[in-house]
Amino acid sequence: MAAGADGLMTDAPLPFRRAGQGTPLVFVHGYLGGSAQWQAEIDHFSDRFDVIAPDLPGFGDATHLESCNTIHCMATRIIALLDHLGVGTFILLGHSMGGMIAQEIAAIVGDRIDRLVLYGTGPLGIMPDRFEPIKLSRERLESDGVARTISRIGATWFYHGAAAPGFALVEKIGTGANPNAALNALDAMESWDGRAALPTLTMPTLVLWGHEDRSYRWPQVETLWKTLPNATLSVVPGTSHAAHLEKPKLFHAILDDFLGDCAVSTAQAS
């Protein structure tokens, strides 16, 4: 399997970044995102976990791949990658649209998921009370293009807007997205409703949310927390939709606590 200097693997159903060994820990990015946004998490967790961060088709380093227009399609593409890699059971974290994908994956292969982290996400794709309706996002994407769209939308993902240190990374990753994939993903989110499956997702689940998140408001988060059978809630103060880039140390500490007894150090694994 081919690997570049940055750890990107390309000879697979989806390109992905991977490092470490132990229990597989899978990170799924969201709308206009990419695997590169998880580099700090790859660095932090790879001493205890086999960290795998795919690029969804049409995004990140997968802009050459045909995109999906349903959340189910994206979920099956991730499952196909994990099957290709020979991954059995795994821990799954999904952010934003990636959290919808993670819920869909859990509904399909829940018996393989040891723990689930639903971060900055909700169970309903139309996202009630979002900073703007998806219909408007679609219209503005078609008129403004991807680069202007990520600059505008990406600023809402940070408590300090475009002045936030992590904004430049989000803007860089998002600018490279395939325009058709960006449109298809809006359709995928708008048509998805995962609420019926929530009572069946019995694995230990962490619902993680930035207190000032303008994409997924509290009612969505509360539905996850109160409906999932085995859920705990963590709210990160002073952050919006990109808590992992806004307060990475706190974000890592929360995950360390939730995943603590799943970790296998490199020394133990060897």
Q: Is 123 within a domain? A: yes
Task: Please give the mean pLDDT across all residues of the chain.
Answer: 94
Is pLDDT at 114 greater than 80 in this prediction? Answer: yes
| pLDDT tens-place string over residues 136-175 | 999 999 999 999 999 999 999 999 999 999 999 999 999 9
Is pLDDT at 112 greater than 70 in this prediction? Answer: yes
Higher pLDDT, 203 or 266: 203
Distance separating the N- and C-terminal Cα atoms of the chain: 22
User: Which CATH number covers residue 193?
Assistant: 3.40.50.1820
Mean pLDDT value across residues 12-23: 94
> What's the confidence (pLDDT) of residue 269?
43
> What's the confidence (pLDDT) of residue 5?
43
Q: Is 114 within a domain? A: yes
| pLDDT tens-place string over residues 174-233 | 999 999 999 999 999 999 999 999 999 999 999 999 999 999 999 999 999 999 999 999
Helix %, strand %, coil % of the chain (to 5): 45, 15, 35
pTM of the entire structure? 0.94
How far CA 28 is from CA of 33, 101, 204, in Å, comes to: 9, 8, 18
Mean pLDDT value across residues 101-108: 98
> What's the confidence (pLDDT) of residue 12?
73
Mean pLDDT value across residues 83-92: 97
Q: Is 267 within a domain? A: no
What's the domain count of the chain? 1
Structural domain for 115, as ranges: 8-260
Contacts of 93 (CB under 8 A, 6+ apart): 25, 26, 27, 28, 102, 116, 117, 119, 255
Q: Is 1 within a domain? A: no
Which 3 state secondary structure label does DSSP give 63?
coil
Answer yes or no: are the C-beta atoms of 79 and 102 closer than 8 Å. Answer: no
Integer Cα distance of 221 and 235 in angstroms: 10
Integer Cα distance of 74 and 79 in angstroms: 9
Q: Is 140 within a domain? A: yes
> What's the confidence (pLDDT) of residue 93?
99
Which 3 state secondary structure label does DSSP give 124?
strand
How far is Cα of residue 181 from the mean position of the Cα atoms in its chain? Answer: 16
Q: Is 266 within a domain? A: no
